[in-house]
Amino acid sequence: MSTAREFMFDLASRLATRIQLTTDGHGAYLKAVTDAW
């Protein structure tokens, strides 16, 4: 789960504008995406 969180925070730090993010719905991404953005 921490890997998903680290990945999302890294991705968020590299993006300057809003994006549309689509995942496979894996449970680990739900909180990670919410926390990162």
| 1 pLDDT tier (thresholds 50, 70, 90) | low
Q: How many domains does the chain have?
A: 1
State the residue for tokens 């730090």.
13
Classify residue 33 by its DSSP letter.
Answer: H
pTM over 0.85: no
Contact of 4 with 26, CB cutoff 8 Å: yes
Give the mean model confidence (pLDDT) for residues 2-26. Answer: 91
Q: What pLDDT does residue 2 have?
A: 86
Look up the domain containing 27 and give its range: 2-36
